[in-house]
Amino acid sequence: MSFLRNRAGLILVGAIGFAIVAFLLGDVVKSGGPFLHGDRTSVGEIAGEKVQIDEFKALVEQNETNFKQQMGQATLNPQMASYVLENTWNQKVSEILINKEVERLGLTVGEQERIDLVSGRNPDPQIIQAFGNPQTGQLDRNQLATFQNNLKTQDIKSPVREQWVNFLLSIQRNRLFQKYNNLVKNSIYVTSLEAREDYSQRNKLANFNYVNLEYASIPDNKVKITDNDYSDYYNENKNLFLNKEEARTFEYVAFNGSPSKSDSTGTLKMIQKIATDFRTTPNDSLFVSINADTKMPLTYMKKGQLDPALDSAVFNAAVGTVVGPVFSNGSYKVAKLLDTRMSPDSVKASHILITAATAGSPERAKVQADSLYTLIKGGANFAELASKFGGDATKEKGGDLGTFARGSMIPAFEEAVFNGKPGDLKVVTTQYGTHVIRIEKQVGSSRVAKVGVVDKIISSSSETQSAAFSKASAFLSAVDDAKSFDARVKIDGQTKLVAENLTASQSNITGIENPRELVRWAFEAKEGDMTDKVFELGDRFVVARMTDIRPVGILPLEKVKKQIEPMVRNRVKANMLAEKFEAALSGASSINQVASKVGRPVTPVQNIVFANPVLPGVAQENKVVGTVFGLQPKKLSKVIKGEQGVYVVMVNGFTNPASLTNTVNQKQQISQALEQRAQGQVLEVLKDKANVKDYRIKFF
């Protein structure tokens, strides 16, 4: 049963996100409808199937737990929480879409196949990882059988049984999706003609000369763009303006409520009083616990582990000395040297972790650890017991933790191994469970210090916050449209900021802490709306005005006019420059004659391939290189309107590669590239057809 603790992250992520490896791109799932529609109990709708909020929240919580374990953190900041939320949503979308495809195609996993996945000749890699022999890398069938027999004694609703069921379901689903993925891959076929064409495009070399007139040669203010120019470009490129996810843009001002000089002075006086009391307190641990903003246990540290502002002073002080206050990273700190001693620089140790989850309770975990302690004391093999009963990844190495320095482990564990001696066997309980620890070796010896640190973070006083809020409120009262908004920005000496093209899942806005409430307002507002209140976000007080809404679908010209202006301007310039080239081409028989007429040099280019259409020193010019490979040698091209300018080219000649007599390798290379693209694109196609509706903004 201990494997569940060892592979908790693997199992839970597998149960939730089984489609990640083959199908999940990790990008934000695009919405297919208004964000604040839908009923009050669903977080979204995928291919007609509603995702209930209770179910989805449970998945999010599971993934958050996994993420905390993997990152070694007790809490997640807003950015991390948003990352987990986004991944969970993408996983759920993938699960439903692929499930529907699997069901539609009639793919199944038979009873014998399910058995083989667990205990057959070729068990699933996850089974081997959970029940494998660390030495051989093969499935330990005795360990698997012991686990399954122990499982029969568990209550049917026990956490261990539920995790095991989810684990098996994830393995079965992975097999189904592997079958689906194989169907997709097997549908890809590359012909010999395609292989030869690809070979030619990558190996046929072109040598040519060109003359160009750059768009930058015409100042922008000399170009007049008409409405027809905009509409022509827009109509020819409408497919570029398909908006798959609704986006909103608003302008805002953020009034600063961060700590003032007065706040800093007040915090300094407070820490000075604390420093005085710290010198005489009879209970240092309790004092630190009560007074420190950042709760840190009183542990032994080596030089260099303390804040640099305190480190040298503390290690040069006498026991009982209080150092500080010092200012560091937004807070004032004082430190008290409680004790010093000589201690190993590093320790090599092994452990067997017994968790409350696998044992049934913390008390049972302690009883089991004590039993193992007795067995080992009596001569039992530590590594074998660790491999069988260990509750974390070290079980695969017989409990070996390797060699580590101070600061690598949690305090209780660290104190046990650094304060003992080689050969000691100890039982220690931490927040992770109960450990049976054996100290293998201690290396080096250095002076360490037991230090108590009290910090006071400089925070804004109520007066500072109130002043900032009052300014923001006055601003809000004075504005009702774009003109008054801009005018008031100047009067107040504020900086107008823009949050551009926000999506409903956006978790960050520059300079604003945890802006989800503001984003939620944005997706309820209409263009031109002002916020109906001042938003207090961290130490900023924000007033905003909605300026642009980009719905799902082909965006109208007025929404993209500013965006396409540079391209439209270049098209107008291209027409102007093309006239010069047309005149130069009239009567010309060589590239040198054309160059002479337009007053530009001839640029030679060597060894260009079709598959890499880049002009050295210029840029990627697809139209130019594409034209080159369609020209006859020694023939002038027509005018080519490229990305950076207008061109005329003349091919000197081509160097053909050796004939491709065997297309097998070429076909394989193309197929592999297509298969990799298909894995992601299949899911994107399914999303587009599924009309995914995302209502998460109502709840998160």
In this prediction, residue 144 carries a pLDDT of 85
DSSP states along 281-326: -S-HHHHHHHH-SS----EEEETTSS-HHHHHHHHTSPTTPEEEEE
Distance from C-alpha of 396 to C-alpha of 388, rounded to nearest angstrom: 9
In this prediction, residue 571 carries a pLDDT of 96
- Which stretches in the chain have pLDDT values below 70? 1-39, 69, 72-74, 134
In this prediction, residue 39 carries a pLDDT of 62
In this prediction, residue 20 carries a pLDDT of 32
Distance from C-alpha of 119 to C-alpha of 303, rounded to nearest angstrom: 52
- Cβ-based neighbours of 516, under 8 Å, separated by 6 or more: 78, 507, 700
Tokens, residue 555? 């965006």
Distance from C-alpha of 305 to C-alpha of 23, rounded to nearest angstrom: 44
- Cβ-based neighbours of 5, under 8 Å, separated by 6 or more: 353, 355, 357, 358, 391, 392, 433
Q: Which amino acid, one-letter code, is at 277?
A: D
In this prediction, residue 279 carries a pLDDT of 92
In this prediction, residue 21 carries a pLDDT of 34
CB atoms within 10 A of CB 446: 12
560 half-sphere exposure, CB direction, 13 A CA radius: 21
Please answer whether residues 686 and 101 qualify as being in contact, where contact means their C-beta atoms are separated by less than 8 angstroms. Answer: yes
In this prediction, residue 639 carries a pLDDT of 96
Tokens, residue 425? 């066997």
**Rounded to whole angstroms, what are the CA distances from 323 to 271, 307, 333, 674?**
12, 12, 9, 65
**Predicted TM-score (pTM) of this structure:** 0.65
What is the 3-class SS of 320-382, one letter each residue?
CCEEEEEEECCEEEEEEEEEEEEECCEEEEEEEEECHHHHCCHHHHHHHHHHHHHHHHCCCCH
Q: Hey, which residues does 437 pair with through a beta bridge?
A: 351, 426
Q: Which amino acid, one-letter code, is at 194?
A: E
